Copies of this chain bind each other. A is one copy, B any other.
Amino acid sequence: MSPADAVRAMIADRRDLHAHAEPGWCEVRTASLVARRLAGLGYALRVGREVVAADRPGLPSAAELTAAYDRALAAGADPEYAALVRDGFTGVVATLATGRPGPVVALRFDIDANYGHESADPAHTAERGGYRSRTDGVHHSCGHDAHTAIGLAVARELADAVAAGRLSGEIRLIFQPAEEGLRGGPAMVAAGVADGIDVLLGCHIGVQARATGEVVAGYRRILASHKFDVRFRGRNAHAGISPHEGRNAVQAAAIAVQNLLAISRHGDGETRVNVGTIEGGETRNSVPAHALLRCEVRADDNAILGYLRDRVDGVVLGAAAVTGVEASVETAGGAAGADSTPALAAVVARAAAGVDGVTRVRDTADFKGSDDMSSFMNAVQAAGGQAVYFGLGSRLGDVHHAPGFDVDDDALVIGRDVFLGCLRELGVLG
Contact = CB atoms under 8 A, between A and B. Distances in A.
Interface of A: 114-117, 141-142, 180-181, 207-208, 223, 225, 227, 235-246, 248, 250-251, 253-255, 257-259, 261-262, 264-268, 270-289, 291, 294-296, 298, 304, 307, 311, 314-315, 317-324, 332, 367-370, 399-403
Contact of A399 (B236, B318, B400): B236
Contact of A255 (B181, B239, B259, B276): B259
A120 B286 CA distance: 19
A212 to B, nearest CB: 18
B278 A283 contact: no
Give me the 10 closest cross-chain CB pairs, A-B, nearest first. A318-B322, A318-B321, A277-B281, A240-B369, A239-B274, A286-B401, A254-B257, A276-B284, A115-B283, A261-B262
Contacts of A255: 254-255, 258-259, 318, 322
Given A180-B285, A274-B239, A276-B286, A267 B314 contact: no
B311 A321 contact: no
13 contacts: A116-B286, A235-B402, A241-B267, A253-B278, A265-B265, A270-B270, A274-B285, A275-B281, A278-B278, A279-B279, A283-B401, A289-B403, A318-B323
A47 B272 CA distance: 47
Contacts of A296: 239, 284-285
Given A275-B288, A282-B117, A322-B319, A250 B240 contact: no
